[in-house]
Structure 1
Amino acid sequence: MARVSQQHLDARRRQILDGAARCFARNGFHATSMQDVLSEVGLSAGAVYRYFRSKDELIEAIADEVFDVVRGAFTEAARVDPPPTPDVLIGRVLRRVLYDHVEGADGQAFARLVIQVWTETLRNERLAAVLDEGYGTLRSAWVQLVEAYRAHGWMSDEADADHVARTLIATAQGFITQQALFGNVSVDVLESGLRAVMSMERAPGRNAG
């Protein structure tokens, strides 16, 4: 029997994850069965169970991959000097997560999948641990970027780095929620709004208070 290459195994795993993500985005986790996933990807039960033993394992793998994408974007940003501003970085991450991550899923569908992942953490301890680790990683990455912004004189030294980190993460989460609930929300709108907020301190002729 010919040996299966790692490239083939990786492609098959990707096929299963993308198909499962499309199913979950359309119908939700609990209304989607493993048979639905098998039909979506056109594979036998044995082929799918070789990679994922249960629907929960599929859900956890999808959640973990999303954080890998986000972590990769921040790692890339940390190598750039000067680092990208929040509007640019958040826009880049959201485009990668919502539109480029799963083949065949539109932005609203994948946003709905993300919301489901967040909700599922209330009952799934392993998934909650994945989410908690990912959130901690994001906070640490933003703290490092805030320190870089300070070093370039773009942000006050008095700003609490963790507070800024939590706020910017909340901004991205809020956008994902809007996209899931209402759709047709362009990332360009978020970038434009963030730039406007970021410009407030520099606006001439305005008095505080």
Structure 2
Amino acid sequence: MPKVTAEHRAARRDEIIDAALRCFLERGMQNTSMSDIIASSGLSAGAIYGHFAGKKEIFVAVAERVLASRSAELEELGRGGFVPSPGEIMATIIRGMSREPFAQVIVQLWGEAAADGETLAMVHSVFLRLRSVLEGGILAWAEANPDRISGTPAEWAQRAAPVVLGFGPGFLLQRALFEEFDVENYIAMLPELLPR
């Protein structure tokens, strides 16, 4: 039997994640079954379960992929010694989220989290990780601008992160609810509202 490469395994996982995303977008996460994901992927049940134990594990993999992309974008933003402001950090995160197919599922997921403890735990876990990434960027800015904050940089970053993070759900909700919502204006205003 030929040996399966790490690249092949990663490609297959991405294929499964993409199939799950299609199902989540069509049916919502709660109404999507593993059978739906298997059918959408065109793979066998064994191929799916060889990579993921179930739907919740696929959700975690999707969230990790999205977080890795946002972290990479923030690293790129900070190259060459540039220290982005909280507004520039959040604009970068939101710009990246606006390109993610998963972003449309997030609002559905929040609704499900309000009624389902297991979904709430997953959403909470992802938000904590995103807040940690955001807090690291805000801390770097606070350390570079100690005259612009109150308290220590670490304390200020910890207090500021949940407030700055709040712009993300505001963006996703308005984009989902209002056809006339101006995505580019929202992103452009963040550095002005949270200036250097």
The yes-or-no answer on 1:114 pairing with 2:106 is yes
Match of 2:172? 176
Q: Is the 8 A contact 2:171 2:186 kept in 1?
A: yes
1:7-37 superposed Cα distances (whole Å, 9 cap, x missing partner) = 1111011001011112101221233232322
Q: Is the 8 A contact 1:23 1:32 kept in 2?
A: yes
- In 2, Cα distance between the equivalents of 1:134 and 1:79? 25
Decide whether aligned partners of structure 1 residues 142 and 38 sit closer, same or farther in structure 2, where only a CA change above 3 A counts: closer
- In 1, Cα distance between the equivalents of 2:112 and 2:67? 16
Identity %: 30
RMSD, aligned CA: 3.0
Match of 2:18? 18
- In 1, Cα distance between the equivalents of 2:170 and 2:113? 18
> Which residue among 174, 190, 193 is the counterpart of 2:189?
193
Match of 2:9? 9
Decide whether aligned partners of structure 1 residues 193 and 95 sit closer, same or farther in structure 2, where only a CA change above 3 A counts: closer
The yes-or-no answer on 1:85 pairing with 2:85 is yes
- In 1, Cα distance between the equivalents of 2:2 and 2:180? 48
Match of 2:59? 59
Larger-Rg structure: 1
Q: Is the 8 A contact 1:24 1:113 kept in 2?
A: yes
SS state of the match for residue 104, structure 2?
helix
SS state of the match for residue 51, structure 1?
coil
The yes-or-no answer on 1:167 pairing with 2:163 is yes
Task: List gaps (5 residues or longer) in structure 1.
Answer: 203-209
Q: Is the 8 A contact 1:23 1:37 kept in 2?
A: yes
SS state of the match for residue 148, structure 2?
coil
Supply the AA of the counterpart residue of 2:139.
E
The runs of 4+ residues in structure 1 deviating greater than 6 Å are none
CA drift at 1:155: 6.3
SS state of the match for residue 81, structure 2?
coil
Aligned pairs, number: 191
Taking structure 2 as the reference length, the TM-score comes to 0.77
Q: Would you tell me which structure has more helix in proportion to its own residues?
A: 2
Taking structure 1 as the reference length, the TM-score comes to 0.73
Decide whether aligned partners of structure 1 residues 27 and 131 sit closer, same or farther in structure 2, where only a CA change above 3 A counts: closer
Task: List gaps (5 residues or longer) in structure 2.
Answer: none
Q: Is the 8 A contact 1:111 1:180 kept in 2?
A: no
The yes-or-no answer on 1:138 pairing with 2:134 is no
